[in-house]
Amino acid sequence: MNEFVIHGHPASPFLRSVCLALEEKRAPYRIARLEVSEMRGEVHRNLHPFGRIPILEHGDYRLYETQAILRYIDAIIPKPSLQPTDPKAIGRMNQIIGINDWYLFPMVARIIVFNRIVGPLLLGTMPDESAIAAAVPNASLCLGELDRLIGDQSFLAGEQLTLADLMLAPQIYFLAATPEGGLILNGTALLEWFRRMNSRPSMLATLPPEPLRLAA
């Protein structure tokens, strides 16, 4: 099989989701690093016209959008399956991926994680406290809903590890390390799920680079 090449910066939680899928499949891969200074430059735009990361290359096939990449990996390496067969669990998995893409990342992580962690530790910027404060109600809404959805299940969409867990765990890794996320997550079933996820070999093998390696 052709080599899997993931273009992007290793601090990206979306890129980490792709690495997690390949780790869970025990498939070798390589990260082709795009530096922060190269983001949205010509090389990057040629790979991803919308200027985001990650981008997967597999032979002559190129794909962007993380959930599309995860579904491709699950199709091309069927075992172990990362998607349920029960229709209700499929619906739940897809719903949670949608919550990540539409609400948790753009309305919460992109603001709180960027201002608390990525900006200060990677780019040397100061946190915008008013932006963080404005995002806290959305953080409560998103994390509260994910906590309600996991209930007493082992994984987000039921009793099987799915793409939803692989999308969410890298986002929660950073959010749990912020004061705002930590407070909201305290005592929740979602935090217990995250701790279980965080000790999986796939998560341990894909830790972000220093200085973004954080205590959960």
Ligand X SMILES: N[C@@H](CCC(=O)N[C@@H](CS)C(=O)NCC(=O)O)C(=O)O
Distance between CA atoms of 71 and 65, rounded to whole angstroms? Answer: 10
Residue 41 engages ligand X in binding (rule: CB under 6 A) = no
Least distance in angstroms from the C-beta of 174 to ligand X: 10
Residue 14 engages ligand X in binding (rule: CB under 6 A) = yes
Which of 51, 78 has the CB closer to ligand X?
51
Residue 193 engages ligand X in binding (rule: CB under 6 A) = no
Output the six-digit token pair for 98. 């949608």
Binding to ligand X, residues 69-108 (CB under 6 A): 101
Distance between CA atoms of 186 and 175, rounded to whole angstroms? Answer: 12
Of 8-16, 21-29, 89-97, 202-210, which segment contacts ligand X by CB under 6 A?
A: 8-16
From 4, 7, 10, 13, residue interacting with ligand X (rule: CB under 6 A): 13
Binding to ligand X, residues 43-72 (CB under 6 A): 51-53, 65-66
Which residues, including other chains, have CB under 8 Å from residue 41's CB and lie 6 or more apart?
none
Q: Are 183 and 116 in contact (CB under 8 A)?
A: no
Least distance in angstroms from the C-beta of 20 to ligand X: 14
Query: Would you give the end-to-end CA distance of the chain in angstroms?
Result: 36
- Bridge partner list, 62: 57
- Tell me which amino acid residue 114 is: F
Using CB under 6 A as the criterion, which residues of the chain lie in contact with ligand X when the complex forms? 12-14, 39, 51-53, 65-66, 101
